Amino acid sequence: MYQAMLGTCPAAPIEAYEWNDWVNRLCEYIVKSVREEKVHTNWTSPNVEYEEKFIGFIKQITTDQRFLENFLRFKEEVAFHGLLNSLSQTALNLMIPGVPDIYQGTELLDFSFVDPDNRRAVDFGLRKSILTKVKKAVEGGSIVELIEKYKLTPTDGKLKLLLTERALKSRSEYAPCFAGDYIPVETNGRYKEIVIAFLRKSVDHTILVIVPRFTTEIANEGQFPCGSNMWSGTSVEIPQTCKSMHWKNLITGEILEVGQSTKLLVGETLRVFPIGIFVAVSDLG
């Protein structure tokens, strides 16, 4: 129950109507869960008295000031890293072998319980509006500025939708890579265990994906794992065949030049955005 609360509690600041709606949905979710557990109650023979004790407990703790102070403080500590985890999972979903599966409504951060939450209406107008701004920023060369703006309000989900648009655009533009090879990339340095890196490769192009994990080991609450100071020389090892290439960041548009080295410093690849999707290019013209 506490895990469900942490994973679905609305982002701060929380309006009274949002809080009340969440508590009511939490009660419905708990009843569904204990019925499906089929130990003391079930759908065909519900033990109403047992279920009402769960509901009573939820109503008690969600109005208890001492509990709420501790719960909400801890929730804020883990919520930001939940956001980073969501970005990493989104990148993996869209970049690893297989066909990406995006459940409608989860293009932004989603705090739904299972049934019936996942049947709620989706605000497609909001999503379309964000996509339009992302595409205009890309065309106008201001995507980095938009990313920095979205980082100021990380819990609204705009960074996730921006990443989804950029990743799907990459899949479309370099489609043969995503029907081609998947090659794990070696990581080195102090934080090598909290980096996932791999190549998607075709005859003509090479895509490099760099994704952080376990971000509590490297970043504090509200701190994006970006920049050289954060990563302490941690690097990824690129193939010799890509040694003299430049790398174009398909999310930010930045160009990374590495000369003759086969090592890419993670802090330099993730300068602006906490996820890296790059294509190797030999001719910048």
Do 88 and 125 belong to one domain? no
For the stretch 238-269, pLDDT in tens is 888 777 678 999 999 999 887 777 889 999 99
DSSP track, 254-268: -EEE-TT-SEEEHHH
CA 241 centroid distance within chain: 31
Rounded to an integer, what is the distance from CA 66 to the centroid of its chain?
A: 31
Asked if residue 11 and residue 62 are part of one domain, the reply reads yes
Write out the residue range of the structural domain in which residue 123 sits. Answer: 117-281
| Residue 230: closest CA among 212, 255, 246, 248 | 212
Whether 21 has a pLDDT exceeding 90, the answer reads: yes
Q: How far apart are the first and last CA of the chain?
A: 56
Q: Which residues of 110-133 are buried (b: 16+ CB within 10 A; e: fewer)?
A: ebbbeeeeeeeeeeeeebeebeeb
Answer yes or no: is 102 within a domain. Answer: no
The verdict on 275 and 136 lying in the same domain is yes
Say if residue 132 is in the same domain as residue 77.
no
Res. 284: pLDDT tops 60: no
Average of pLDDT values for 167-182? 95
CATH classification of the domain holding 204: 2.60.40.1180
pLDDT of residue 217: 92
- Predicted local distance difference test score (pLDDT) of residue 140: 95
Q: How many domains does one find in the chain?
A: 2
* Helices 158-173, 124-140: inter-axial angle, 10-degree rounding: 60
Tell whether pTM > 0.85: yes
Do 277 and 147 lie in a common domain?
A: yes
Residue 100 lies inside a defined structural domain of this protein:
no
At 112-152, the pLDDT tens digits run 888 778 788 999 999 999 999 999 999 999 999 999 999 99
Same domain, 88 and 132: no
